[in-house]
Amino acid sequence: MRSLIVVGMLFGLIYTAGGSDRITGRSFATRSRVMARQGMAATSQPLATQAAIDILKQGGSAVDAAIAANAVLGLVEPTGNGIGGDLFAIVWDAETNRLYGLNASGRSPYSLTLEYFQSKGYKSIPAYGPLPVSVPGCVDGWFELHSRFGKLNMKQILDPAIRYAREGFPVTDLISYYWQSSARRLKDYPGFEETFMPAPRPGEIFRNPMLAATLEKIAEGGRNVFYRGEIAETIDAFMKRVGGFLTLRDLADHTSEWVDPVSTKYRGYDVWELPPNGQGIAALQILNILEGFDIQAMGFGSAEYIHHFLEAKKLAFEDRAKFYADPDFNGIPVNELISKEYAAQRRRLIDPERAARRYDAGSPALEEGDTVYLTVADAKGNMVSLIQSNYRGMGCGLCPDGLGFGLQDRGELFTLQEGHFNTYAPHKRPFHTIIPAFITKDGRPFMSFGVMGGATQPQAHVQIVINMIDFGMDVQEAGDAPRILHSGSSQPTGYQMNDGGTVYLETGIPYETIRELVKMGHRIQWNVGSFGGYQAIRVNPETGVYFGASESRKDGHAAGY
């Protein structure tokens, strides 16, 4: 069926199911929700989900299980994440009855300056090689989460990843596809071939004994072995040899930051995101704008709904391009950007009949990335929403000697334009695309969720919320429903939208809708594989039942016990 859909898309057609034999009546729902009471995990790879469940059964907390799953994903899905990348998380702590946010993103090297890029004639930061490398924040993020919410020791938590790395695992279909694609692009970068080649085909066994040894050192020596000890020294020596700028000082000075999640209320539900340097508040801005319209009456898949969604996205992304950056370097008006008053001003700019070619950023008072998202819940009611990424799939291509992982290229997302909030500077965090999300209702947890995929993420967060709240879908249906993706908005790297961008609609949107959108001035094109990867856990606070959902577009798996 998938091949039929792709062929149909290539010829400009969309095939939709004529009916459904599922009792829900939703033709696009691929599976039922997973239900359990003692614990739940949803990740983009089944072995990682099972590792999380095993840790929960051993008495581990939701955070312990999330770290275990993340470590396994770094091995089995290196096309999206790994310990050379960054991490963000939102944690619901049942004991204190509140949310905690962690920003575990790394900073740029001290020794690399804006003047260096200017002197070499760069107009933007390259995607690969040593120049986009920033400090990997993942490992410090693990230990920050564990120190506050962990129960088991790190040896137990990292054991599943270590075992799979040493003994091998079968590579799944989609991960194999992206692995082979990355290998063709990155095979000549130092250390890549020794670490990740030959690129495995589906079902082939892959082993990474170098990563097993690295994880064992982390389990024994803690975060300091990575940032101040043997691993840090190896990274420092490697970067010097390949002409890089990341040094032992950069690693030693790294710190994560506990932050307060921010929220907006959408039709009685509080939707939570993390503040910049990430892009999470874009989802809140879009929801605030759309709250002023009767989305339910418009109907799912209608041209009216999609048009208003696209225009709200364009408006929010103009602010994203101008304001979202490292708050240590700028005064970012977060509260104003996510206020209802500001949304009302921006909403008035939308023409209900015509697509805008451009918008300017507002004046509040003063992207091909790949990622993994996972969520875990435990028997005590704790829930974790965690996202982790190398940015461009397998990162910058550089793999330090004998460590078994690649370094991220997140620094590509700085701009070299002077005077911008996101202008490159030493020891600065770049604009970040990866965002975890959470929903509460009446002060109690409702859902932990996320959708990986670069600029897709805030757009998909909004669609998940609307699918559930406005269109009455359950947690699995909300992720399976065909998605809307807009690209070409202005960017924090300096690009300005002047042509209205491009709209990509997933299979399942009626042809009549597409015709109406074209008549409104939207430019429609086809895209396969850029619609994100969703995982979620919803909870019924009255019964304690967890409802797990996993992304049908990935190799994902939700399981509970």
Residues annotated as catalytic (active site), given as ranges: 371
- Beta carbons within 8 Å of 492's beta carbon, 6+ residues apart: 320, 321, 324, 325, 413, 415, 420, 421, 422, 431
Buried b (16+ CB within 10 A) or exposed e, 509-541: beeebbebbeebebeeeeeeebbbbbbbbbbee
State the Cα angle at 557 between 266 and 483, rounded to 5°.
45
Nearest C-alpha neighbor of 283 from the set 465, 410, 102, 495 = 465
Q: Rounded CA gap, 328 and 336, in Å?
A: 18
Q: How far apart are CA 77 and CA 120, in angstroms?
A: 35
At what angle are helices 340-347 and 280-290 packed, to 10 degrees?
70
- DSSP for residue 557: E
Residue pair 459/488 in contact by the 8 Å Cβ criterion: no
Q: Residue 518: helix, strand or coil by DSSP? A: helix
At 334, list the tokens.
């977060």
Q: Which is it for the CA torsion 201, 170, 50, 148, positive or negative? A: negative
Which residues neighbour 105 within 8 Å (Cβ) at sequence distance 6 or greater? 86, 87, 88, 134, 137, 277, 278, 410, 429, 430, 432
289 vs 335: CA distance, rounded Å: 15
Cβ–Cβ < 8 Å for 259, 275: yes
Burial class of 131 by CB neighbour count within 10 A (0 to 12, 13 to 18, 19+): buried
**Other C-beta atoms within 10 Å of 180: how many?**
16
Nearest alpha carbon to residue 464 among 444, 450, 446, 454: 450
**Which of 486, 465, 488, 489 has the alpha carbon at shortest distance from 475?**
465
Q: Which residue has the tokens 């908005």?
A: 489
Separation CA 332–CA 339 (nearest Å)? 14
CA angle 558, 85, 191 (to 5 degrees): 115
C-alpha distances in angstroms, 188 versus 81, 183, 194, 517?
Answer: 20, 9, 10, 44
Strands (E), 212-302: 257-259, 262-266, 269-273
